[in-house]
Structure 1
């Protein structure tokens, strides 16, 4: 096999992840104790709102004892420590496994004296000058300088190595409030863009005709829902099954299922496959009572730190997956469920950390699957129209 033959794989959109996650910074240039204390303070301040993580390397000078059953050859040792969960691995963790383990984190701080990350916070400490000089190659994306008490300016070799060093903010290492504010501001700015997806690729077998074409309000429902989503989303797409795209009005963007035969689960996965760094406001096309107030409430209470933001369904007593905001961190979770033989989006919401809301008008969640339900909703819409 030649190198060119090996490059024939399908090119996929990759999430904008670093070594561990989307938002990661290594803290480099200070003593490890100082780095640990700084990470401790930042995580303590931000963890009530954001899911934070930390990565480091053991500082034991002696050989670290292998814990638990790993001594007898176990490849994994799991212990429920009641207040926390502990996993010990025998073998080295591969890069893709690191990304999986940190996928749910909003913020990852890394001890840059031992590990690397895609962005860096550099401590300027006179006592660690020589050590920092050895790590110049790690400084690929410096976003903040922190001056220790024993210095008043950036080292000359840093100025030479980083052309734009004067545009990078400089704080005192002791100014914890400003440092915490730096990370908080960056997390707010990195909130995933919200796109909309109208699920219209089903075969409507129980209805007997395409539910997306039902005209409730002067146009086919799939277009009515897409137009409603435009006020809340960056881009709006209509999800279609393979071969259905030609049926969609060219004024509307269609997104064809690439995970076929999985219904809504496949449509959600297909959306993330297209744009893995975006959040997706998913709305089924068979919700004729859905209104802007219900969507506005969902978007207003969106928690991008959760896997998803969804409404509680008074009918099923479970989260409603087809009027919900799915965050990018749900993509690997959905794939994991699929790998275990599950293709129910509701199961994903039930078994993950979500932001669950009560709908301001529960009737807005009503879906229509049969001709009998269609006639009932027609009467409800007629009554509402007459009342107005």
Structure 2
């Protein structure tokens, strides 16, 4: 398995997307608690070990420990991951991005390192095909700053689904090594939490 050394990559920042309706879960997923940390705190900690800066895209209450992070609002009129990814690219056009969801509790540093190792000149994005069935993952993915004009065109034309990118030259869709694939699992319902150590927040300051 190819990885990079676990050191800071100065031209790549991390972006955590929050603010989904969480209708199926019933509470904001980024505030679920696991091993003493909210999922938001855990995600930021993992990203922060590899990138120079982490930002939050989207609306929603954050734990007090994360209130100092830069935040960007989703691009008005857009929905889904494109709204947050494009907001980050507009706000900080000089950097590239590791973009993750707030509901991927099995994410780990090795998966992030693998994404960074997939970078090379001319690569616009790395959107993993985890199952090997042609369905790419737009989150826990890498987006080079040079992809912004393509995303702007998608936003203007109303084509909001990120999987439209997978057929473009420069967009890599590799399948992660088997030991890494669980990192892309996300949690959507209370049933999904069965067998997990995650639980709902118990302190008022984390509710919202």
TM-score range, shorter chain: 0.7 to 0.9
Greater relative CO (CA pairs within 8 A, separation 6+): 2
The aligned residue for residue 203 of structure 1 is 21
Higher strand share: 1
**Partners in 2 of 1:351 and 1:206 — Cα distance?**
33
Tell me how far apart the structure 1 counterparts of residues 63 and 10 of structure 2 sit (CA, whole Å). 31
CA contact (8 A) 2:15 2:98 kept: yes
Residue 65 (structure 2) pairs with residue 258 (structure 1): no
Deviations along 1:335-359, whole A, 9 cap, x unmatched?
1112222111122234453122222
2:36 aligned to which of 190, 196, 218: 218
Residues 286 and 245 of structure 1: is their aligned pair in 2 closer, same or farther, counting only changes over 3 Å? closer
Structure-2-length-normalised TM-score: 0.80
Report which of the two structures shows the higher radius of gyration computed on alpha carbons.
1
Please tell me whether the aligned partners of residues 192 and 328 of structure 1 are also in contact (alpha carbons under 8 angstroms). Answer: no
Deviations 1:24-78 (A, max 9, x none): xxxxxxxxxxxxxxxxxxxxxxxxxxxxxxxxxxxxxxxxxxxxxxxxxxxxxxx
Partner of residue 76, structure 1: none
TM-score between both structures, scaled by the size of structure 1: 0.45
Aligned residue in 1 for 2:48: 230
Residue 267 of structure 1 corresponds to 84
The equivalent of 1:353 in structure 2 is 170
Which ranges in structure 1 are unaligned for 5 or more consecutive residues? 1-190, 382-388
Evaluate the alpha carbon distance shift between residue 352 and residue 204 of structure 1 in structure 2; reply closer, same or farther with a 3 A threshold: farther
The yes-or-no answer on 1:367 pairing with 2:182 is no
What are the equivalent positions in structure 2 for 1:274-289 lying under 5 Å apart?
Answer: 274-289=91-106
The separation in 1 between residues aligned to 2:169 and 2:86, in whole angstroms, is: 17
SS at match of 2:14: strand
Stretches of structure 2 that go unaligned for 5 or more consecutive residues are 1-8, 199-208
Q: What count of residue pairs does the alignment treat as equivalent?
A: 187
| CA-CA distance at 1:232 after TM superposition | 1.5
Match of 2:150 in 1: 333
Q: Distance in 2 between matches of 1:273 and 1:250?
A: 21
